[in-house]
Amino acid sequence: MFIKRKNPWEGPSMRVTPEEVYIERRRFIKSMAGYGLMAGVFLSGAGGIINPSALFAMGKKPPLITVPETPTSMLYPAKRNRRFRVKRALTEEKIAAAYNNFYEFSTNKKVWKYVEGFKARPWTVEVTGLVKRPKVYDLDELVKKIGVEERVYRFRCVEAWAMTVPWTGLPMRKFLNLVEPMAGAKYIRFRTLYDKEVFPQQKLRFWLPWPYEEGLTIEEAGNVLTLLATGIYGHELPAQHGSPIRLVIPWKYGFKSIKSIVRIEFTETRPETFWNTLAPEEYGFQSNVDPAVPHPRWSQATEKLIGTGMRVPTLKYNGYGEYVKGLYEG
Ligand SMILES: Nc1nc2c(c(=O)[nH]1)N[C@H]1C(S)=C(S)[C@@H](COP(=O)(O)O)O[C@H]1N2
Ligand SMILES: [Mo]
């Protein structure tokens, strides 16, 4: 067989397999039943699935951080909102910029190697569904209208790594006040750009449920912490962090913080989401950070602070209980 599947009783149970490898293999195997085995032989190697764009990138060394000039560049650095403080050292910028999850570009963490040429302008965000002011917003217009602020947040990936970074962005609550959801809107569905010419993996990994989508309840979206981030470390987002606009929901696992958003839809029913569709038993819709609830394949009790070699206890709601407990109690 061209894909070696580990028996569940083999190997240490606490090893964290990155989301990508394990889940997508199952999906891949399923899809290959339809496409025939030849494609499988072409795309996979002994160790798993090759990332063909890695071959093209070989020998080239792109810049780690690229932040092009835009019509909103002058808003940075934005004033920091001191209400949100984190008792933990900031992650170094070059560490955060070199360790990303952004499946559309690459399924390994070195996303920065594949983002050259990504264009964050012109960019529009379609606001649609159960909302009083539906509109296709030009991003610059939206950013200037709402304004940006800086917030230092903890950030926790479901794979048990964590960082502390200064985001800049639009408070989601202000966005909701601008567009005015209707009374029937119970959820919000967010969508990432779907363009195979821009994102190589949307073409190569055609069996994944593109476009990447995520969702929140309207109350979660309206929480004071929820941020539509447009910047990081005092400037606009480099492509690997989800340029030009992405969600940041610091009390939830990182996969909820969807990148490169082009559409925000207000719905009555709970939206389907990318990871939940791939593996519902592993990636729930709510996915609040909780040290007491292990992932089916690893513990969530501790987390690795990237770039430091340190492992620290995971905090319930990622340390944001005082802000979000009310959403889930009673
Ligand atoms: N569109 C899109 N959004 C995404 C992802 C992705 O693959 N595609 N990965 C998610 C995951 S798993 C994490 S942990 C965070 C990582 O954000 P960062 O790379 O800025 O640290 O982005 C999230 N948003
Ligand atoms: Mo993640």
pLDDT tens for each residue of 94-125:
999 999 999 999 999 999 999 999 999 999 99
**Region 264-272: what's the mean pLDDT?**
98
Question: Bridge partners of 245?
Answer: none
The helix (H) or strand (E) run that includes residue 251 is none
- Confidence bin at 59 (pLDDT 50/70/90): low
3-class SS of residue 12: coil
- The fold of 73-327 is Sulfite Oxidase; Chain A, domain 2 (3.90.420)
**Region 88-95: what's the mean pLDDT?**
98
Which is more confident, 274 or 4? 274
> Is cis: bond before 77, omega within 30 of 0?
yes
Alpha-carbon dihedral 163, 169, 173, 179, rounded to 10 degrees: -140
pLDDT digits (tens, 9 = 90+) for 146-157: 999 999 999 999
CB under 6 Å to ligand 1: residues? 100-104, 157, 192, 212, 241-242, 254-255, 257-260
3-class SS of residue 229: strand
**Region 54-74: what's the mean pLDDT?**
83
**In the predicted model, is pLDDT for residue 237 greater than 70?**
yes
Which ligand has an atom closest to residue 97 CA?
A: 1
In the chain, what are the domain boundaries?
Answer: 8-57, 73-327
For residue 102, give the ligand 1 atom closest to its CA.
Answer: 7
Per-residue tokens: 201:
């993996």
For residue 211, give the ligand 1 atom closest to its CA.
Answer: 1
Average pLDDT, the chain: 89
Which ligand has an atom closest to residue 100 CA?
A: 1
Nearest CA to ligand 1 atom 10: 255
> Which of 255, 278, 287 most suits a substitution to test ligand 1, by most atoms within 8 Å of the C-beta?
255
pLDDT digits (tens, 9 = 90+) for 10-45: 334 444 555 555 666 666 656 655 444 444 333 433
Taking the C-alpha atoms of residue 259 and residue 193, their distance in angstroms, rounded to an integer, is: 9
Instruction: Compute the distance from residue 330 Cα to the ligand 1 centre, in Å.
Output: 31
- Angle (CA) 275-277-281 rounded to 5° is 80
Q: Model's pTM, two decimal places?
A: 0.87
Residue 61 has a pLDDT of 84
Nearest CA to ligand 1 atom 6: 102
Pairing of strands 227-232, 235-236: antiparallel
Residue 192 has a pLDDT of 99
Instruction: Compute the distance from residue 160 Cα to the ligand 2 centre, in Å.
Output: 8
> Scanning the structure block, which residue is given the tokens 């019509």?
71
- 221 contact partners, CB below 8 Å, separation of at least 6: 172, 176, 188
Instruction: Compute the distance from residue 114 Cα to the ligand 1 centre, in Å.
Output: 15
Taking the C-alpha atoms of residue 42 and residue 296, their distance in angstroms, rounded to an integer, is: 31
Contact yes or no for 317/289 (Cβ under 8 A):
yes
**Region 192-197: what's the mean pLDDT?**
98
Instruction: Compute the distance from residue 26 Cα to the ligand 2 centre, in Å.
Output: 19
- Confidence bin at 54 (pLDDT 50/70/90): low
